[in-house]
Chain A
Amino acid sequence: MNNVSQDHFVTADGRSIGGALMEMQNITLRFGGVVALEDISFDILEGEVRAIIGPNGAGKSSMLNVISGFYVPQEGQVLYRGSLRPAMKPFQVATQGIARTFQNIALFEGMSVLDNVMTGRITKIKSGIFSQMIWKGRAEREEIENREVVEKIIDFLEIQAIRKTPVSRLPYGLKKRVELARALAAEPSLLLLDEPMAGMNVEEKEDMSRFILDVNSEFGTTIALIEHDMSVVMDLSDRVVVMDYGKKIGDGTPDEIRNNQEVIDAYLGVSHD
């Protein structure tokens, strides 16, 4: 049994990494005949940046969907903060401090940037519908408190100028950033990022990498991210899970992964041909 207070260590750049925040144990997920995930186990340590890599269709997104409660695996169990997580609806998982972004941007297109990010704080709202009808008092106070947090995130991600813009008018790269802002607004303990840099140009990727590292080091947020660009993964992550055809074929530090023969054959070898 993993104990959260056990084996803390400090990374070369001074971040503190603790015990397991999340443990996936023998997860198997099937869609009819398709086995998307087959007997996969790995853990995510508190404070680390954990990457999940693998070719298209390997099951990476499915894995994130299991973590965020959107898919329910047929076998295996999920431990969160050391205890078994019971079956939960996705909105209940959100209240546990898990936030995410999506591979295909899933912003609320009819709303402004500000409203999108404010929606990220929905789990923090305590005032009920009757108090909000009247607005004065608790509802208004809460709105202002949330707005203050959201404005900090907007500053942090440098999207002040587009605050009031409807997201449908934003270019792709900025949408990705707004989606990150929405996830951060929840002040999550665990942040899941599904291909946060897909389709971005080099400059945008550099910005996004910087934001991810800053989130991790400044807020201490644990991050699990899926990424295709190998150089990005090697730079960003503390540890890497490698998947192929729904199976885990490697798990370790970027250096270990780079030198793992099975991984080279299955994945790195192919993409570097």
Chain B
Amino acid sequence: MLYREAGDFSTSYTADSQTFPIRFDRYRYYFILVVAFLVIPFFVNDYWANAILVPFLIYSIAAIGLNILTGYCGQVSLGTGGFMAVGAYSFYKLMTAFPEISIMLHVLLSGCITAAVVTLFGLPSLRIKGFYLAVATLAAQFFLVWMFNKVPWFYNYSMTGMIGSPERTVLGIVVTGPNTDAWAKYFVCLIFVTLCGIIARNLTRGSVGRKWMAIRDMDIAAEIIGVNPLKAKLSAFAVSGFFIGIAGALYFGVFLGAVEVTEAFGIEKSFMVLFMIIIGGLGSIFGSFAGAAFMVLLPVLLKNVFVGGLGWPTDLAAHLYFVIAGGLIIMFLILEPHGLAQLWRLAKEKLRLWPFPH
């Protein structure tokens, strides 16, 4: 028997509301944590860190952030790229203005600043819904990118208009700048992913998460039950912004090292993160990880198979990426709105009863 739920009974409500109520899932989770923290850092090389692991971890944080807003609270946002830029520029300003303070703290502060900005852009959600809200967040996206291009204070009046992260250390280890080791980049991102994952899980399993979902499923009934729609929606924007800001800070400071805002945080970024949560699964933390992994791995896979293996030109493989991603998004939207996470659940359900399906 590979996987079992039968015979695994919760004997208390604490046990029942655990993150992983099934023992097997819990062990797998601990196993992943041990491997991620204690094994991978010793083996990771530049290619694995820069092409796969670091972007996967950072996009996971962004996807969790957007999933809280869109998947859990039902507020569609196309401003993710712009909001990540807020995190990136906050981080840049903080780390250049206060070099003596730990950048770990700066990352968290960038998250807080982004939370405030996103909450501000969330105010229209109290009046408008769905398509109109999406357009409003799209406006935020363009406004923010324009602002970071236009106001030289944000890029410290540099000639190129770009921002670059100076070298900073944590406990003597270089974590930003060109001399950062692959494992250090990976480790910093891993710490924040773990933190964000735990926070997101705690919020979504309790009453805050229920408020968000109630607003998403039927806002009028939610209000009559006692959910304050203003607080519920704005808290979703704030929490979402916190995560997306952290993702933006890491994307700029740790992953790329230097960015130009239009290129790094344009509208494509907003769509990319949105695709991640659609493919991974709306309203699922696991789905956020799955979607991020999928969108990061797919181009790498295509490149290795078609360019490396079959000798196709690179741009053809890149086009194939869009075709596959686009097709999958349409498929998931129509057939399985809960994405990969739901497919995973269904597979587990089959496995659980295997080999006796009835």
Residues of A within 8 A of B208 (CB): 129, 132
Contact A119 B210 (CB under 8 A): yes
Shortest distance between the CB of B339 and any CB in chain A (Å): 14
How far apart are B338's CB and chain A's nearest CB, in angstroms?
9
Interface secondary structure of A, over-half rule: helix
Smallest CB-CB separation from A145: which chain B residue?
B13
Inter-chain contact A186/B223, CB cutoff 8 Å: no
Number of interface residues of B (CB under 8 A): 30
* Chain A residues closer than 8 Å to B17, beta-carbon distance: 143-144, 147
Among B210, B218, B229, residue most surrounded by chain A Cβ atoms (within 10 Å): B210
CB distance from B301 to the nearest CB of A (A): 32
| Chain A interface residue count, Cβ-Cβ cutoff 8 angstroms | 43
Pair B202/A133 contact, Cβ less than 8 Å: yes
Of the candidates A89, A108, A109, A115, which one forms a contact with B223 in the assembled complex, judged by CB atoms under 8 Å apart?
A: A89
In the assembled complex, the Cα of A127 lies from the Cα of B221 at a distance in Å of: 22
Provide the bound-state CA to CA distance between A125 and B229, in Å.
15
Q: Contact: B235 with A111, CB < 8 Å?
A: no
Q: Nearest residue in A to B202 (C-beta to C-beta)?
A: A135
Asked if residues B13 and A148 are in contact (CB atoms below 8 Å), the reply is yes
Given known A119-B214, A144-B13, contact A90–B207 (CB-CB < 8 A): no
Cross-chain contact of A132 among B14, B202, B225, B228 (Cβ < 8 A): B202
B65 to chain A minimum Cβ distance, whole angstroms, is 14
Interface stretch of the complex, out of A1-9, A93-101, A212-220: A93-101
Is A111 within 8 A of B213, CB to CB?
A: yes
Chain B residues 194-235 with CB under 8 Å of chain A are 199, 202-203, 206-208, 210-211, 213-214, 216-218, 220-229, 235
Structural contact, A139 and B217, CB atoms closer than 8 A: no
Q: Which of A174-214 contact B (CB under 8 A)?
A: 182, 186
Which chain B positions have C-beta within 8 A of A90? 223-224
Whether A122 and B210, one on each chain, are in contact in the complex, defined by CB atoms closer than 8 angstroms, is yes
Closest 6 A/B residue pairs (Cβ): A94-B226, A106-B221, A108-B217, A123-B226, A135-B202, A147-B13
